[in-house]
Amino acid sequence: MDKYRRTRILYILQADFEYFISLLVAGSFLAAVTAQLGISDSLTGVISAIISLGQAFQLLSVFMRKNIKRKVVLFSAMNQLVFMCLYVIPLTGLPPGWKTALFIGAVTLAYFLYNIVHPKKIDWFMSMVEDGNRGRYTSVKEMVSLLTGMVFSYVMGSMSDYYRGIGQVRKSFAICAGTIFVLTVLHTLTMVLAAEKEEGEEQGEREGASSGTCRGGRFGIIRDRNVLRVTAVLVIWHAANYVAVPFYGSYQIKELGFGLKYVSILGILYSSVRILFSFVWGAYADRRSFARMMRACMAVAALGCLINVFTVPENGKLFFTTYYVCYAIAMAGIGNAAMNVVFDYVDASKRADALAVTQVVAGICGFATTLLASPLVTYVQDNGDMFLGMHVYAQQILSLLSCVLYLLAIWLITAMFCRRSGKG
């Protein structure tokens, strides 16, 4: 694999540039644009739902069989140029209604373009990494993105705050748009210069994919037992994550009374801890397996959720910070494991399609979990934070549900992978 060393380096750079762009179209940066456009909180919630459901578009990637590199490069560049338009739209002289409609359409189109080739892109680049080194490699890639992302977001955030402070918000949008354009050029170059596997190396995988297609059609992948096992685990993980995490933001500000400065400190702490443990988990996965690493990470996540069951304003800073550290430790491994478990247990000819199917099903289930949890939050809050005769915050109940779901995921991983022969 030495001949692919340059491609592995380019993959790290590609992920880095892609991460920078993602920072500019999410969180406070995205909120600044929606505020300038006069988009309401409820409509912003709809936009956020579009983003979270974007993974559903990955299912379309199963129809891509030829010229994978060309399609990945083209769709990725188009996706990022559409992201750039999110900052251009507020600068136009169009009526407010048109701007809002174009903005929502651009967000939808951008995530459609991104997700339709995402599984193929991951399969392309990860095929250049030796199986015994995937844990360390993906951890290094993540650490580079997190470290440089902290600097990038600070610089761009400071720039945006400066221009907002002097009443020149439009100038900050122009700079952000220009930055995304430069990053798009750099990102595209990394993919254009990256290698693909040679004809002989890919022949067997193509034959396997073709035979699988003939036997089961494009969606025969859903009958693969290993794909179903991985999907089941990822569905429970997404449910455990999305039943509580989306509601923790308001919990910090309202019930726990955290200031934005303390929330920012928590963000820095989260990134620092995740960087610290990323390589540790990667080395553990290469030595023991990604299934065992995911199980250990979910145990840490379950502990964090259990701590949050007892988090109240009186102990908020101590308990929630402890939870956040546990969550950072867990996510340092779970994110990479979710992808690499597919590479461990699914045949090479089916990996890209398996990535698409697992992410689509898990993403939709995660979003549905949030929708199901919302009425419970409303009910508890409308009843003066009372539930079953006890004074309790809704997020404490959701934390308990999350803990139970993590324990269920741990049991599934143990039963379906860690007790089976082979890599688990």
Q: Whole-prediction pTM value?
A: 0.69
- Contact 398/255 with Cβ under 8 angstroms? no
pLDDT in the model for residue 41? 46
pLDDT in the model for residue 309? 93
pLDDT along the chain (424 residues), means of 10: 76 92 79 78 56 70 76 93 94 89 90 86 79 76 85 82 85 94 96 76 47 47 77 89 80 74 76 85 84 92 95 91 94 82 75 75 81 84 83 91 95 81 46
Where b means 16+ CB within 10 Å and e means fewer, 400-413 reads bbbbebbbbbbebb
pLDDT in the model for residue 207? 47
pLDDT in the model for residue 80? 95
173 CB contacts (<8 Å, ≥6 apart)?
33, 36, 87, 88, 90, 91
d(CA 270, CA 337): 19
Structure tokens at 88: 């251009």
H-type alpha helices, 41-165: 41-52, 68-88, 96-126, 134-165
Helix (H, G, I), strand (E, B) or coil at 65: coil
DSSP code per residue over 187-225: HHHHHHHS----HHHHHHHHHHHHHHHHHH-TTGGGG-H
d(CA 31, CA 10): 31
Count of C-beta atoms within a 10 Å radius of residue 254:
13
pLDDT in the model for residue 74? 94
Structure tokens at 120: 């193929």
Q: What share of the chain has pLDDT > 90, as a percent?
A: 26
pLDDT in the model for residue 398? 92
pLDDT digits (tens, 9 = 90+) for 91-147: 988 898 899 899 989 988 998 898 888 878 887 877 777 766 777 787 788 888 888
Closest by Cα among 335, 312, 310 to 400: 310
